[in-house]
Chain A
Amino acid sequence: MTTVVFNRRNLLAAGGAVLATGVSGLLLPARAAGLAPTETMSGGANNYRKGAAIVDRIGKGGFWMSGTVRRAGDGAPLAGQRIQIWAHTVEGQEHEPQSHGATLTDKDGKFRLEMPQIIPIFGQPHGHLAYDSGEFKTVFLRPVMRSAKETSLEAHFVLQPA
């Protein structure tokens, strides 16, 4: 006959195992649903101008905005997607046309656009990005730089069908 011994060590181990399976069991369904779509950030659409032209560079450059565009669910990279970018930079305010530009994602769903140095506006150094081409649901992002001295900023889109 086997005697089951309850002591603190095996109770903790058993409890830990139950907790681990229980918690992962709770988390797994969320994973099965796949990559969640990116929500529009508050203030993301501020000073947006519709239809910014695709450019090689905004203004004189010196600052890099980059990121990725993927599909919600399976996370597949989305090529050829148009991303619009604007910010308050050393060459102009957010609402001014010369502060706006757009670029397309490459085959790996990556985009990268050179633009003038972003400077703090309304108390935070931040940029704006938009996906609004219609095939997927429109998303506006407003990433904030950790420091105004940084010379690059990233933003990532996960899009869901419109």
Chain B
Amino acid sequence: MTGWRLARAILIWVALALAIGVPIAAAATSEQLAWRGPVYILAGFAGIIALGLVLVQPLLIGGYLAPLSAYRGRRAHHWIGGTLAFAVVIHVAGLWITSPPDMIDALTFSSPTPFSPFGVVAMWAIFIVALLASLRRRLELRPRTWRIIHIPLAIVIVAGSVVHCLLIEGTMETISKVVLCVLVLAVTVKVMIDLQVWRKRRTLRGESGARSAAEGPGLL
């Protein structure tokens, strides 16, 4: 790695740690926590962590997290996707235990809170992607088919999660929350532009190999 590449990699990792760490730390100091039970607190933090993982996913797939290789980045994307689905399960289960009627309203799209449908739609998109990803080999989904399925769902996950989070009045501190949400949107748009996801191509793997060879490690 050249000096500039190393500095850039360190900068991205530090920024990522701050983007996720600061909102969690700020929420941990919220006075709202004093009036919440442990299950509700756990559910809330599972939601914040899930949003943080939504930021990590496009960074991994875009190859911005040097020194992870394209292969390792993809593997990590897979595992973090599973962790994201798990965090969402904890979030929903914890809220269900805290107030069953409110959670049932949300899941049946009859909630009075405007943010609920966005969260529920993002949740289903996350579950569908996780399920299909785990069955991808068995279903023999070709890379192109997979992209046609995954990219629109990824957009739904990002947009749904961000709107859900921004509309909630809870333990998250406003500025760190908005910064995290803006970063999630910005990184998603950047990775889509960098990978030119709207373009037809034979296989991502073939091209990523070519690009890695041409541009060195750290990119896709």
Q: How far is the CB of A106 from chain B (nearest CB, A)?
A: 29
Residues in chain B near residue A93, CB distance under 8 A: 37, 98-99
Size of interface on B: residues with Cβ below 8 Å to A: 20
- Whether a CB of chain A sits under 8 angstroms from the CB of B207 is no
Q: How far is the CB of B195 from chain A (nearest CB, A)?
A: 34
Residues in chain A near residue B99, CB distance under 8 A: 46-47, 93-95, 121-122
Q: Is the Cβ of B110 less than 8 Å from the Cβ of A42?
A: yes
Q: Is the Cβ of B35 less than 8 Å from the Cβ of A119?
A: yes
| A window 121-146: CB within 8 A of B | 121-125, 142, 144
- Whether a CB of chain A sits under 8 angstroms from the CB of B203 is no
Q: How far is the CB of B108 from chain A (nearest CB, A)?
A: 10
A93 to B32, CA, bound (A): 12
Chain B residue nearest to A147 (CB atoms) is B169
A42 to B101, CA, bound (A): 11
Size of interface on A: residues with Cβ below 8 Å to B: 23
Q: Across the A-B interface, how many residue pairs have beta carbons closer than 8 Å?
A: 53
Q: Is the Cβ of A47 less than 8 Å from the Cβ of B168?
A: no
- Whether a CB of chain A sits under 8 angstroms from the CB of B102 is yes
A46 to B101, CA, bound (A): 6
Residues in chain B near residue A148, CB distance under 8 A: 169
A45 to B34, CA, bound (A): 25
Per-position binary interface string of chain A over residues 56-96, scored 1 when its CB falls under 8 Å from any chain B CB and 0 otherwise? 00000000000000000000000000000000111001110
Besides the known contacts A43-B111, A93-B98, A123-B113, 12 further A-B residue pairs in the complex with CB atoms under 8 A apart: A42-B111, A43-B102, A45-B101, A46-B99, A46-B102, A47-B102, A93-B99, A120-B169, A123-B167, A123-B170, A124-B169, A125-B169
What are the 4 A-B residue pairs with the smallest beta carbon separation, nearest first? A46-B101, A123-B168, A43-B112, A42-B112
